[in-house]
A = this chain, B = another copy of it.
């Protein structure tokens, strides 16, 4: 059964007054920036975390920095290779959630979903906090107000997403490519200077770092292992966001999976290059970087740094050194870094509704999230995300270092379950596959995913061990909460489904239709409702009027007789001006007298357009409808009468329908041009 001829005609044959939703697939050069901002932006804070952790035992441990960078790069490579398998095996864009659900079952799927939900909140909190720190590096007046700036940024993002941004590839492409150019250019220029021996020193190069108590040299072997494990697990923040492409395969140009896999490889390459370059360069310029809460451990010639000392982010310090005699270079790097961080936060605002709609489809979230264009559902999700991020930002005073402790757990929980799911996927594929060439390919994929799993499993254990008490417990708790909520919703939907399941005894057809038309006045809406009700030829039809005033009643009865509609009018007396109750009771009584019949209640409604007009009309009709829904054997029919002003609301509705919603671009949907004339078929 295809699209009906009638509906086809309207779909094609009318002038589009407003933008129409269509599919626009992304070429690789656009897809890369659309999906990469989150992953690439982590270079703005991940190296900082490695240096902070190593600094616990003093600046001498910075010799480990590039080795840890390499270790993180190896894990990232393994993860990227694994996800390349995923995009081939699951091109539908369900990502980790789909992989886990299909291969490991509902519980694993819900676990991944709750990890992802928590991650979206943390992506906003971490990226925006880091962005606020870059802003304060560029604009001294912002110093010590990072939390306030971060909150304002979140509110601006929220407002933009509520309002709806006309997203386009360019919107993502320009800042992302500028960021790549800025970071890679800076690193190249810096490394060239280093080779020429002319690389300037960082502003913090002259400082010494006092180790934390208990971490003085010489470190025990165990101490060193703990130190490196902590630095490594913090550095793994660089991996956040790489899974984005696996959720966006449907938005790629064909061949979708192949293009997505290539883009993923490209992303990995760029991310690893950036990270290693930044770490090496930071070491070269003699950077000294400690936990911003422990600035007193920074000393200059044995004395602590002055109280006003402000420690700038690693990339800001590199830019300052590399471009020490060319300040536009510094401002350019810091500005695009700030922008890319905000863009990364925006991806969470985009991804959240997409995940919501997938969860809704599976009955884990309110069903309304599943259909496109539910304004309320979208808005609630966006406000929820922003509020949670603001709470975190305020609670942790916009300190990236502290928020990072919460961040990585969720990411690696979903990495692990996803890799495990992929291994199961390939093992199952082997059960049926007989072609030896294909089997070889499957073995290869399974090996890649197994390597990915072993790496991510190790990282998850390290992260849990080193970060649980430092904040990861909050994440675990939040995941538990989301898990319980989704389980609860699923349970509710399942119960309802069982209660609603059709059975064979449920076919009894009502024998009689008793129609009543609510009459408040004898005006066009009432006459229309009477006409419509009459057209349905019910077994019995009467008007029903609730009388609260004798004079008015008499006048109405007279008018009714004059009209001579041939329909009897029933008057229900209501001395206390109650309108709803007499009607409900009357309908109930009719039904009781005819248990095999059905009562059809027709309610004339005016449709108005301006928002304040809503308060002036239909309130009683609304309450009545709400109340009649509880009455068995009753159906309620709204007969609308469109007032002239209703055109205003209709136009508003249509504008709303065609608006691009957060995440549409990532699903390969964009609004097409306005006022485009589509040829009539």
Interface residues of A (CB under 8 A from B): 1-4, 6-7, 9-11, 21, 23, 357, 366-368, 370-374, 376-377, 489, 492-493, 496-497, 499-503, 506-513, 521-528, 531-532, 534-538, 557, 563, 569-573, 575-582, 585-586, 588-590, 593, 598, 600, 602, 605-608, 613, 615-617, 619-620, 623, 625, 627-632, 634-644, 646, 649-650, 653, 657, 669
Contact = CB atoms under 8 A, between A and B. Distances in A.
Contact of A570 (B4, B23, B366, B538): B4
Nearest to A509: B531
Contacts of A532: 510, 598, 600, 635
Contacts of A631: 640
Nearest to A646: B630
Given A21-B578, A367-B616, A629-B640, A585 B527 contact: no
How many copies of this kind of chain does the complex include?
Answer: 2
20 contacts: A1-B569, A6-B589, A11-B585, A367-B620, A371-B579, A492-B613, A492-B616, A496-B617, A496-B643, A501-B523, A501-B524, A502-B526, A503-B524, A506-B524, A512-B535, A600-B637, A607-B629, A630-B640, A630-B642, A636-B638
A629 B605 contact: yes
A94 B212 CA distance: 81
Contacts of A616: 366-367, 489, 492-493
Contacts of A521: 500
Given A535-B598, A536-B538, 9 more contacts: A1-B569, A6-B586, A370-B577, A371-B577, A374-B623, A502-B522, A630-B649, A635-B640, A638-B638
A67 to B, nearest CB: 48
A521 B498 CA distance: 13
A571 B573 CA distance: 47
Most buried by B among A10, A377, A569, A606: A10
Given A367-B619, A635-B638, A637-B600, A7 B586 contact: yes
A639 to B, nearest CB: 5
Contacts of A637: 600, 635-638
A578 to B, nearest CB: 5
A269 to B, nearest CB: 34
Contacts of A563: 502
Contacts of A569: 1
Given A536-B538, A538-B536, A10 B630 contact: no
A638 B581 CA distance: 19
A366 B585 contact: no
A376 B643 CA distance: 25
B502 A524 contact: yes
Contacts of A377: 619
A7 B500 contact: no
Contacts of A606: 496, 500
Contacts of A646: 630
A21 B577 CA distance: 11
Most buried by B among A376, A606, A630: A630
Contacts of A557: 1
Nearest to A647: B630
B638 A629 contact: yes
A634 B630 contact: no
A255 to B, nearest CB: 20
A653 B160 CA distance: 39
Closest 9 CB pairs between A and B?
Answer: A368-B619, A500-B523, A629-B640, A637-B637, A6-B589, A510-B535, A1-B571, A372-B577, A630-B650
B578 A372 contact: yes
A511 B531 CA distance: 10
A621 to B, nearest CB: 10
